[in-house]
Amino acid sequence: MLEVDLPEPLMLALRWLLLLGPICLVLWFAFVRETSVRAKIGGLFAFLYGLPMIFITHSIALHFGWWRYGWDALMLNGIPADILIGGAILFGPGLFFAFPKVGPLIICLPIVLCLHAIIFSSLRPLVFAGPFWFGGVVFVFITAHIPAIYLAKWTAEERRLGERCTLLAIMTGGIIFAVIPSLIMQAMGGYWQLFDRPAWTLIVTGAALTVTSTIGLAGNQMLCLQGAGTPIPLDPTKRLVRSGIFAYVSNPMQLSAALGWIILGLYLHNIWIIAAAGMAWVFVQGMVRWHHRHDLLKRFPEGWPEYKENVPEWLPRWRPWVPVNAHLKLGTNDRFLKRILKNAVGLDLEYSDVPLAYDAVIEPRKFTGWEARLFALTHVNFAWAVAAHLTLIVFMFSKALWSTLAFPLKRHS
């Protein structure tokens, strides 16, 4: 490992290069070389995933003293914003465009071992390496850079939709709960005093954030399962989704973000983070409605107007709107479920000895077993729908994770 004193002008130039270099690389591939539209979208998603993940992992690194950055320009939580953005571009669209056919592990391993291992300790005053810095670098690559390049690859190849939606959900959570509050506190004042409050407030806040996050994650999950797409308009769904959480509210993700900021702002005693909920409203009024008019209305001219008329944007209905009754086959012995579903809306029950099965009718996918029970519960009221979706998220994620670990060579479409 090298540890030499490099001149400051070289470090200043390197700081410029860490942002401008990746930008030039991406612009070259995006506009000069032939890069497909799907690859460009994948590259954008990789950048958007990398941004919050690099921010979070570098914040952890700073907290534990693995390294720290020099100079005092453009600092966001002690991380230079230009290095953050340049890193998200390079270890996202940059490397993906440059090596589209190479696996992310093969791309990143030489960089970790050669570049970082050899010269990281010689980059003062750009960065000062602390103890365990190499472990920190590996941690950043595993959680931020490698998944970002995979996200780009899978998006370009239109496969592994479940994994893509999971990474996009992590990306959204990182932007909502880490990046934007940090930017707000940078601009308006405030601190990340997460553990300086009484334990009970932390528990209550955690519980409240779990509920509000479930609303957003449920939206993501439904668009993936029934819409065969992602929540991002650039990689849209192939179908209009009107069941599950979407039977109660048409903007579950924006609602989730707004509520999340209110709760986080209350916990951190920061009025400006609470005010970010207002920005979520502005975003819906501006961008989302424009998207609804110019995309959803054009793609789903028959389903969208009726849906918009019956399902509110912000304040969820207590009971679901179901245009066509769904169908549930359940056993006569399932008394607990029968009792709850007595009040279900838009759900036809058939009692038989065949296995439990749920068919939303207006959606393509059918479910059996525990998933069928949980989807049936989304027909009762909003509270049951959120509880059912929380269980579905945990259940289906665990099932998918187990499937991936137990059968690593299985190809997903």
Partner 1 sequence: MFCSAMVLAILFRIFYAAISLASIDKTAFLAFPLTVLIPALAFFFLAGRKNMASKEGVLMQLGSMIQLLLIVALPDFALYLALGFPVVFLSVELFETRVPEVLRNRIEQRVLTC
**Footprint of partner 1 on this chain (CB under 8 A)?**
12, 15-16, 19-20, 23, 71-74, 80-82, 85, 183-184, 186-187, 279, 282-283, 285-287, 289-290, 294
Cα torsion 335, 340, 341, 343 to 10°: value is: 140
Neighbours of 353 (CB within 10 A): 8
By beta-carbon proximity to partner 1, the closer residue of 14 and 117 is: 14
In Å, how far are 108, 253, 259, 356 from 211, measured between CA atoms?
A: 37, 12, 10, 27
Tokens of 78: 């002690």
Cβ 181 to partner 1 shortest distance, Å: 11
Cβ 11 to partner 1 shortest distance, Å: 10
Classify residue 400 as left (phi > 0), alpha (psi -120 to 50) or beta.
alpha
By beta-carbon proximity to partner 1, the closer residue of 228 and 279 is: 279
Burial 268-281 (b: 16+ CB within 10 A, else e): bebebbbebbeebb
By beta-carbon proximity to partner 1, the closer residue of 64 and 281 is: 281
By beta-carbon proximity to partner 1, the closer residue of 196 and 309 is: 309
Q: Where are the beta strands (DSSP E) in 231-325?
A: none
Cβ 408 to partner 1 shortest distance, Å: 40
Burial 27-57 (b: 16+ CB within 10 A, else e): eebeeeeebeeebbbbbbbbbbbbbbbbbbb
By beta-carbon proximity to partner 1, the closer residue of 276 and 390 is: 276
Please state, in angstroms and rounded to a whole number, the distance separating the CA atoms of residues 15 and 126. Answer: 7
By beta-carbon proximity to partner 1, the closer residue of 251 and 378 is: 251
Cβ 393 to partner 1 shortest distance, Å: 28
For residue 174, give the amino acid letter: G
Cβ 293 to partner 1 shortest distance, Å: 9
Cβ 72 to partner 1 shortest distance, Å: 7
By beta-carbon proximity to partner 1, the closer residue of 60 and 183 is: 183
Which residue from 111, 121, 122, 169 is spatially nearest to 145, judged by alpha carbons?
111
Tokens of 1: 């490992």
Please state, in angstroms and rounded to a whole number, the distance separating the CA atoms of residues 134 and 67. Answer: 10
Cis peptide before 231 (omega within 30 of 0): no
Cβ 289 to partner 1 shortest distance, Å: 6
Instruction: Return the bridge partners of 75, or none.
Output: 80
By beta-carbon proximity to partner 1, the closer residue of 71 and 402 is: 71
CB 269 within 8 A of CB 187: no
Which residue from 385, 296, 405 is spatially nearest to 341, judged by alpha carbons?
385
Sequence-distant (6+) residues with CB within 8 A of 318 are 381, 382
By beta-carbon proximity to partner 1, the closer residue of 187 and 405 is: 187
Cβ 188 to partner 1 shortest distance, Å: 9
Q: How many helices (H) and strands (E) does the chain have?
A: 19, 8
By beta-carbon proximity to partner 1, the closer residue of 80 and 227 is: 80
For residue 377, give the amino acid letter: L
Sequence-distant (6+) residues with CB within 8 A of 15 are 71, 80, 82, 83, 126
Cβ 281 to partner 1 shortest distance, Å: 9
By beta-carbon proximity to partner 1, the closer residue of 283 and 370 is: 283
Cβ 46 to partner 1 shortest distance, Å: 18
Cβ 297 to partner 1 shortest distance, Å: 13
Please state, in angstroms and rounded to a whole number, the distance separating the CA atoms of residues 325 and 362. Answer: 8
CB 7 within 8 A of CB 124: no
